[in-house]
Chain A
């Protein structure tokens, strides 16, 4: 294996993500495999570094949201090429799983999906339950392995009131304590989070990502 060319290929993967190169990233990923780059390295040392950089620029208000979303999609496309070549049981260094969803009765999911994208770029695995998600579905969602955070969104005061129901349902199954519960959406506030016994509230996706990272590390 030729060192410099491996380094160069990792750099190309990183740049493909930063440059949102949707058209060429699969080809670059295949070339990486062809020259013997380990798929885990291609992800962690190439693609993930790219998304981290875009995410940081986004957090500073420099990169645009469509850029971040595109970069995430570029990464996904490349991961799909690389993943089948990763030996089973390899540690991918995930920070854990985040289950997110928009609560029952509410279909406004732009913000929620955005939070999913940003958390995804921060190193979490995302399980997005979608919109109009009843409490039971959140409970079954967290039953999987390595779930660290549950995130709920609501855009309306009339649906926000579903959030405490989800928290009680989690408590009823005895899983509330091992999870970080985060809420978000226009009508939610920090006071509201305290009132219903959630762990955190975020005003936007960047704050959500910062809170998620600090809360997971704090545990």
Chain B
């Protein structure tokens, strides 16, 4: 079965399963932060954007790529942020061990929680040019400032994860700072996976 057929089958299954996540909510709304040029403003509307500075380079979500995915497996919650920096596609993955939500509604447990990225129960991975590297974080945290369950016209639709992140690491022998990180992500049927 070719890739095209798999895609058609996936769409058919989604339609038949009554999946009604709002297409408009899946799109990204990028509002530039005037104080941090190139990054989206911090927001809590589910705008599906994120951004951070990697030293002076902007690492930011794009309009075409799915900016975030939550993948839950065994005992780990993985938050994947996929965007571009200096025209290159980069995926930043935060793996939080010991947090296993049953579905996207279960993400509410992260509300107002701070994850210490230097803790051994958190792994940060950077994928660039199809090469993944586990980063050693010396300083930094991931803060889920607000997690909200969204109802559209009284129908459960998605969870909105909003927060910030900052950390320092060493890549190829050079100290690098990920600073001013912020995210506002809608997590629903299409980007929450549990295996």
Q: Do A and B belong to a common assembly?
A: no
Residues of A with Cβ closer than 8 Å to B? Answer: none
Residues of B with Cβ closer than 8 Å to A? Answer: none
